[in-house]
Structures are given as structure tokens and as C-alpha cells.
Amino acid sequence: DIQMTQSPSSLSASVGDRVTITCQASQDISNYLNWYQQKPGKAPKLLIYDASNLETGVPSRFSGSGSGTDFTFTISSLQPEDIATYYCQQYDNLPITFGGGTKVEIK
């Protein structure tokens, strides 16, 4: 199985700050990497697909980059409504696997 190592597991930042989350795959997954946002009590929401493509309707402050084994997710200017847990997910090989999540809080 492909292991997805996400870091940090939690972070606290101020409104307007740039926030970066990393995800490392245990083997090359090309660009088969997606990012989700999950707010408490809600289903996950797709933000970024295929490493760097912004899902329709998602604000442009969210972005993703990377390929192979190392990926980055960025919020360019943190907003109060971005408080959530973020997950990466690979779909290069079954089983599909998710990173452990990053909980983003406001400082």
C-alpha cells in the first residue's frame, strides 16, 4: 500500500497568513494526488485534483503543486472560513489512501 505522510498534523496561523501543508508519498504517484477540506460534522470537499488543478467554485487562494512523491498545498491568505482539517489522497494504486490530515486553526 502507498503510505501518505502529511505534515504538520496541526497548525495555528493568523488571518491573512500564508499556510503550507506537505504530503509525501511512499512511492512515485505521478500527479495522482488530490486535496480535500473537511469542516466539523461535514463531508469532505474536493479542493484540488491531480496535484494542481483547482476544482470549480473553489477560491483561488487555494493551490497545489508537486509530482512524484512530494506535494504541497497552500492557502495564500488564510480566512476565518478556512478553519478545517485538510487531507491529501492518492489514487495511483489501490487501495486509495489518505494522509493523516492537517487541522488548521486561527491564532
Which residues of this chain interact with another protein, rule CB under 8 A? Answer: 34, 36, 38, 43-46, 49-50, 55, 87, 89, 91, 94-101
51-88 burial, b for 16+ CB within 10 Å, e for fewer?
bbeeeeebeeebbbebeebebbbbbeebeeebebbbbb
Residue type, 44: P
CB-nearer residue toward another protein: 29 or 78: 29
CB-wise, 89 or 104, nearer to another protein? 89
Question: Whole-number minimum distance, CB 78 to another protein, in Å?
Answer: 22
Give me the least distance between CB of 21 and another protein, in Å please.
14
With respect to another protein, which residue has the nearer C-beta, 14 or 56? 56
Nearer to another protein, 17 or 58 (CB): 58
Instruction: Give CA–CA dist 77/59, Å, rounded.
Output: 11
- In whole angstroms, how close is the CB of 53 to another protein at the nearest point? 9
